[in-house]
Amino acid sequence: PGRVVCSSTCYRAETDTGREPWGLYRVHQFTKVEMFGVTAAESGTESEELLAEFLALQKEIFSELGLHYRVLDMPTQELGLPAYRKFDIEAWMPGRNKYGEVRASGGGGGGCANPPH
């Protein structure tokens, strides 16, 4: 399978609504690192295997950073198109006294919903 990693600047319309006691948890602009993979559909398990590889790599990174984290296998109603499976990784945030999402990993379907322009 082909594997690519990239860094991108992202923007979101919504931010934290002020429910946090101090600071912001969700911000308008942030930078993220993304991992992408492309697999062939020879045995039918390639995509699932690559998703497991990416998830294992992310868990290794968070462990080596000494972060307390948990992995959530998200229910189908939380999936966007064309995802067939998604994992959220949440890290313990002492300032919030709770876990917060720091990473999401998902497996897409066999097609490209939005071809590159």
pTM over 0.85: no
Q: What is the DSSP letter of 77?
A: G
pLDDT above 50 for 116: no
- 116 domain residue, yes or no: no
First to last CA, the chain: 23
Residues 71-103 pLDDT 10s: 999 888 877 777 778 889 999 999 889 998 888
Specify the pLDDT at position 66. Answer: 96
Task: For 59-72, write each residue's pLDDT tens digit.
Answer: 999 999 999 999 99
- List pLDDT tens digits, range 7-51: 999 887 765 565 655 555 667 788 888 888 888 888 878 888 998
Determine, yes or no, domain membership for 47.
Answer: yes
Residue 45 lies in a domain: yes
Q: What is the CA radius of gyration of the chain?
A: 16
- Is residue 73 one of the residues assigned to a domain? yes
Helix, strand, or coil here: 60? Answer: helix
Give the range of the structural domain holding residue 22, as residue numbers without chain letter.
2-108
pLDDT-derived band at 107, boundaries 50, 70, 90: confident
In-domain check, residue 113: no
Which long-range contacts link 96-100 to residues 24+ away (Cβ below 8 Å)?
96/20, 96/25, 99/69, 99/70, 100/25
Count the domains in the chain: 1
